[in-house]
């Protein structure tokens, strides 16, 4: 499972993307899940980070989903029309 930190804003986005890319390479399964349960403070950069992680996963032949995306961030994804790209995991 890929764990997002508590804070993902524009300032942390690059480092977070690199951290998730490294973690993704260690995921042995064909389905990668990003756990956003710790995510407390964020801006739209968090969506960019998740979309980049999704692109990386798909490039590796993996499917991708997100667990416990905060409701405000899911609403923002819906507003931008990208919610279907970040399927919710149980």
CATH number at residue 49: 3.30.750.24
Is residue 25 very low, low, confident or very high in pLDDT (cuts 50, 70, 90)?
very high
Q: Which residues contact 73 (CB under 8 A, 6 or more apart)?
A: 36, 39, 42, 46, 47
Q: What pLDDT score does 56 carry? A: 98
Which residue has 């997002």 as its token pair? Answer: 4
- Parent domain of 27: 2-89
Q: What pLDDT score does 88 carry? A: 96
Q: What pLDDT score does 90 carry? A: 81
CA distance 18 to 70: 22
- Arithmetic mean of pLDDT, 33-43: 98
Domain count, the chain: 1
What is the token pair recorded at 88?
């919710």
């Amino acid at each position: 499972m890929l764990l997002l930190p508590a804070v993902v804003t524009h300032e942390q986005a690059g480092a977070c993307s690199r951290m998730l890319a490294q973690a993704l390479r260690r995921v042995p399964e064909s389905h990668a899940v990003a756990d956003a349960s710790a995510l407390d403070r964020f801006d739209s950069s968090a969506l960019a980070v998740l979309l980049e992680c999704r692109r990386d996963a798909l490039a590796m032949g993996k499917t991708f989903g997100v667990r416990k995306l905060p409701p405000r961030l899911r609403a923002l994804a819906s507003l931008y029309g990208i919610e279907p790209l970040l399927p919710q995991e149980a």
